[in-house]
Amino acid sequence: MSKMGRDFWSAETYQKNAAFVPALTKEIVQRLALTSQDVVLDLGCGDGVLTQNLASQCKHITGIDSSQSMIQSAKQKGLEAYVVAGENLASATEFSSKGFDAVFSNAALHWILRNPNERSTVFQGIARVLRPGGRFVAECGAFGNVSEVVTSIYTVLLDHGIPKEQIDEANPWYFGTEQAYTTMLKEAGFEITFTENVNRPTYLNRDVRDWLDTFAHTFYDAFPDLKETLRERVYQALLWVDCTETGDWYLQYRRLRFVAIKK
C-alpha cells in the first residue's frame, strides 16, 4: 500500500470493499510459477490474504507493506510480515542478508511509485534483495486504469477552484505506460521476459462510493470540506458509464503484468 504520511488503510474496510483485489490474480500467480524451493518476498502484501494463499506453494514467503493495519492483519494469519514501505526497500536492514528467489507484487506498484523521485530507488531495492537470476513478477495499474474515476475526481475538484497542482499532490496513483516500466526495469538491471497489458472491467460488490472510501481517501484528507460532494458527484457521473441496467457496478481497470529477471 501507499506511503503518504499517515496510515489511511484499514484492513477491515479493505476486506469489506476490496476482496476482489487478491481474488483476481489467477493470471499473474501462474506467471510467478512457484516451486517448493522458492523463498519469496510479497511487496505490498496488504492484509495478507493472497500471501497466505501463496505460502502453501513455496518454501517461505515474507510480506511487507507500509500500513501497520495491513501488517497486523497479515501477522494474525501467521505470516512473517514487516512494516516496510516499498520506497525504503533499498535500505531496509531486515533484508540486508536475504537473497529471495522471487519478488511478487500485486496491485501495489501504482501506489509505491507515485513519487517520480523515488521510482528508481524502488526498483534498485527490488534488485538488491533478489539473488542473481531471481525473478520480479508483478501486476499493477497501467496507463488508463480507472480513467473514468480519475477524470470525475479531477472534474469535481477543478469545478470547486482547486488548482491542478494541489489535486496532483493528493493523487495517490501512478498508472505508468508499458514503455515507462520497461525503461525503469532495464535501468535497474532486469531483463524483461514477459509483458501483458490488458483491459479488465472489474466487478464491485458495492457501489463506487465504497470504492472511493477505500482507495481515494487521500483526496478526502486533502480536501475534507468536499468529501461528501466528491463522493456524490463521482457516483452520479459514473452511474452513466459503470453501472449496468441491473445495478451492477464495473470499473474500467487496465492492468500491466510483467516478469523480469535480475541479471
Residues of the chain with pLDDT below 50 are: 1-5, 11, 14, 17-18
Please, what is the Cα angle at 3 between 84 and 197, to 5 degrees? 95
Going along the chain from its start, the domains and CATH numbers come out as: 11-146+172-204+253-262 (3.40.50.150)
Q: Would you state the pLDDT for residue 18?
A: 43
Residue 125, amino acid: G
Q: What predicted TM-score, i.e. pTM, was given to this entire model?
A: 0.91
Q: Would you state the pLDDT for residue 172?
A: 95
* Backbone dihedral angles phi then psi of residue 236, each to the nearest 5 degrees: -65, -40
Identify the DSSP state of 243. Answer: B
d(CA 251, CA 175): 15
pLDDT in tens, 219-259: 999 999 999 999 999 999 999 999 999 999 999 999 999 99
d(CA 218, CA 48): 22
Q: Percent helix, strand and coil across the chain, each rounded to 5?
A: 45, 25, 30
Cell of 72: 497486523
